Structure 1
Amino acid sequence: MPTPARVRADACPGVFAPHDAADGPLARVRLPGGAVSAAQLRALADAAEECGDGDLHLTSRGNVQLRGVTRPGLAARLTDAGLLPSPSHERVRNVLASPLSGLHGGLADVRGLAASLDAVLCSTPELASLPGRFLFAFDDGRGDVAGEGADVCWRALAADEGTLLLAGGDTGRRVRLADAVSALIEVALEFGRVRGSAWRVAELDDPAWRGTPVPRGDVPVPVGMIAGVAAGVVPRFGQLSAEQARALAEFGPALVTPWKSLVLPDVPADVFERLGFGGVPLGTSACIGRPGCAKSRADVRADAVFRPGLRAHFSGCERRCGKPSQSHVDVVAEADGYRVDGRWVPFDEMEGKL
């Protein structure tokens, strides 16, 4: 059943239109395919220190946010680093790609497709008006990003052929790898023509925009050394200090994943010893909570429970910002406690109830 179309304006944050959070303006920097060079990581670290709260906040779309941006100069810094190739399109450059593609596993190598799509997207004036929530994805066949809620996704079925998904449903349309970018751009253009007030494909009433639902597999977050060819780094709450970001940059380019983590290609076996963080998977995530968000009822990051095998998301309110798409324990703050998968739990009993 389609979701009702939105009636308010699209306020998805960017660099030129930040979100006014309780801790100051929040700017979201798009990284198509999650790709960020070492030089860009350093530039983001510098921008976080000079313009924001000093940290990089990873997002569930493989992007980066800077919080507390109260000092000028952010756009100029990002432009110089190549992170704002088209000011008119900056909020619509939302592209996921399987982060381990071409490194380990998968049916097809989708490296480079996100950058190719981004180039076409930024050179197509009509696509500047896409909603900031519209999401593209390229899945190399393992099913990792295909389950992340993309509006349009190419998912590999073989090394040179894939299928087109709309809002997670398989349309049955087969598309060659070489035509994947043009197929996704075609869908985005058509969506722009017919969307009316809809922000997402799932909100369209037309059954032509439906596909056969694809069951989501429980794909593990890449963490630790991966087949000796890459490293999965999982910072606590997806938050990197500027110092940590610079340490990562010493190992070259990185890929920000939709799971608030990073993949570092081609790194030495002692990478975690040299980094000093990020080698252990963290099953618990949380929104920013208090004091960063005025809508939050609690300091959820202080209250979050970490335990081996526990996958939970702590939310300060019913919006559940940043919640993972994988199965998890749903923990939502209320006046004097938390609602845990629908069950009321007082603050002082949280540890024993999860």
Structure 2
Amino acid sequence: MPNVNVPHVNRADRPRADACPGALQTHEAADGPLARVRTPGGAVSGAQFAMLGGAARDLGRDVIELTSRGNLQVRGVRDPERFAELLADAGLLPSPSHERVRNIVASPLGGRGPRGALATDPLVTALDRALCGAPRLAGLPGRFLFAFDDGTGDITASDADVTFGPGGFRLAGTRLDLASGDDPIATMLAAAETFLEIRGDAWRLAEVPDGVRLVAARLGGTPGEGPERPDPVTAYAGLTEQRDGMVALEVVPPLGRLSGAQAEALAEAADEARVTPWRSVVLRDLPPDKARTFAAKLAAAGFAVDPASPWVGVTACTGSPGCAKSRGDVQGEARRWVSGLDRAPETPVHWAGCERRCGMPRGPVVLKMAGPGEEQR
């Protein structure tokens, strides 16, 4: 391996250490402790959805939020210790020491779609297992992100810290020219190890000056050029044909929020689902007739199942009263606004309670800010 001069990154603008919440390290939000549950690749079984639905209702505020990394978070957890016990029993807490660093996103169809060229499910499983087995990597910031793209381009657009797909590796969105990378799991772990050496107090690789070149050199490669990153993906609702003749059903919970009852409805509909980074849920490998039956049941439970639904493409941050920094109840404002629509907006719309714009999707978006008439595009 080539020698690399490793600088110390001193982020003078970093106000505090990484406090990204987890299942054990909760965040004290305005509406109570917030627990974030990592679900690598967005994979959640029916039994796990059922457990989360019951826990959200019995231990929390009956709100489960879908995050931009395909994870789930439960608001207002009154008994975090009991909640953690339930997660462990359900298989959602395989490594307490690594639970905040299991940040792995993957194409939700896992190679099954029309443009799918890579089966990502086994890679997610292998990376998660290897990550949890590497003691030093428990020190990764809770925002460091691994990604697998099946060739669709839906995940490459997320600019994860380390991405692998049919076209090879990317570091913070930059293509990596690598002489050898036959073992993608080993390469991704090596990239994460190098990031730990050079990070200073940075949370993401893109924050480290010259970080992409430094990691590329340690891996025996160089930053490459092109092809261009695909456009970011927005939520979709409806059926997608798989190459094997089965179909996938994608449903959108309004504003990316599930009640306990809606989580239980998903549990009844499928043995396993995939939570997407664009805050939808995908049920895969369904016969067409069963998919239509599930769509009707989930529509009755409050999900958008039609691509023309006004809920498709509308997102919002938590807002008041859950977030103390918000200037208003953007969830309520967004719901009132959507009630006046008869179809999905042409451009995605995001409601934000303050200038942090939490949860705002990538790409073109109409931004609506809390307050009197503030809006920008």
Alpha carbons of 1:70 and 1:211: their partners in 2 closer, same or farther (altered >3 Å)? farther
Give the corresponding residue for 1:337. Answer: 373
- Residue pair 1:175, 1:183 contacting (<8 A) in 2 also: no
Give the corresponding residue for 2:220. Answer: none
Residue 271 of structure 1: CA displacement? 1.2
Residue 259 of structure 1: CA displacement? 0.5
Alpha carbons of 1:218 and 1:83: their partners in 2 closer, same or farther (altered >3 Å)? closer
Match of 1:11 among 5, 16, 19: 19
- Residue pair 1:43, 1:77 contacting (<8 A) in 2 also: yes
Between the aligned partners of 1:123 and 1:134, the Cα distance in structure 2 is 17
Match of 1:270 among 283, 290, 293: 293
Match of 1:221 among 235, 250, 257: 235
Mapping of 1:7-156 within 5 angstroms? Answer: 7-72=15-80, 73-105=82-114, 106-156=116-166
Mapping of 1:186-205 within 5 angstroms? Answer: 186-205=190-209
Residue 206 of structure 1: CA displacement? 2.2
Match of 2:170 among 148, 165, 171: 165
Aligned residues: 332
AA matched with 2:112: L
- Residue pair 2:45, 2:271 contacting (<8 A) in 1 also: yes
Q: CA RMSD in A?
A: 1.9
Give the corresponding residue for 2:218. Answer: none
1:231 pairs with 2:249: yes
- Residue pair 2:160, 2:171 contacting (<8 A) in 1 also: yes
SS state at 1:292 partner: coil
Residue 132 of structure 1: CA displacement? 0.4
Between the aligned partners of 2:207 and 2:266, the Cα distance in structure 1 is 39
AA matched with 2:250: G
Deviation string, structure 1 residues 55-90 (Cα, Å, up to 9, x no partner): 211101000000011234101000000100011101
- Residue pair 1:7, 1:197 contacting (<8 A) in 2 also: no
Residue 99 of structure 1: CA displacement? 0.4
Between the aligned partners of 1:331 and 1:168, the Cα distance in structure 2 is 28
Between the aligned partners of 1:149 and 1:325, the Cα distance in structure 2 is 10
Deviation string, structure 1 residues 102-154 (Cα, Å, up to 9, x no partner): 32131211122111101001110000000000000000111101111311101
Residue 329 of structure 1: CA displacement? 1.0
SS state at 1:192 partner: helix
Deviation string, structure 1 residues 174-214 (Cα, Å, up to 9, x no partner): 666x6221111110011111211111100111261565473
SS state at 2:327 partner: coil
Alpha carbons of 1:218 and 1:133: their partners in 2 closer, same or farther (altered >3 Å)? closer
AA matched with 1:171: L
- Identity of matched residues, %: 48
Q: Structure 2 unaligned runs (5+)? A: 1-8, 215-222
Q: Structure 1 unaligned runs (5+)? A: 158-162, 342-354
AA matched with 2:240: I
Between the aligned partners of 2:180 and 2:155, the Cα distance in structure 1 is 18
- Residue pair 2:234, 2:278 contacting (<8 A) in 1 also: no
SS state at 2:368 partner: strand
Give the corresponding residue for 1:252. Answer: 271
SS state at 1:126 partner: helix
User: TM-score normalised to the size of structure 1?
Assistant: 0.89
- Residue pair 2:10, 2:201 contacting (<8 A) in 1 also: no
Alpha carbons of 1:301 and 1:175: their partners in 2 closer, same or farther (altered >3 Å)? farther
Give the corresponding residue for 2:327. Answer: 297
Deviation string, structure 1 residues 20-62 (Cα, Å, up to 9, x no partner): 1111111100000000111111111121112111121110100
- Residue pair 1:4, 1:203 contacting (<8 A) in 2 also: no
SS state at 2:175 partner: strand
- Residue pair 1:164, 1:175 contacting (<8 A) in 2 also: no
Match of 1:326 among 341, 363, 368: 363
Between the aligned partners of 1:273 and 1:119, the Cα distance in structure 2 is 37
1:288 pairs with 2:322: no
AA matched with 1:339: E
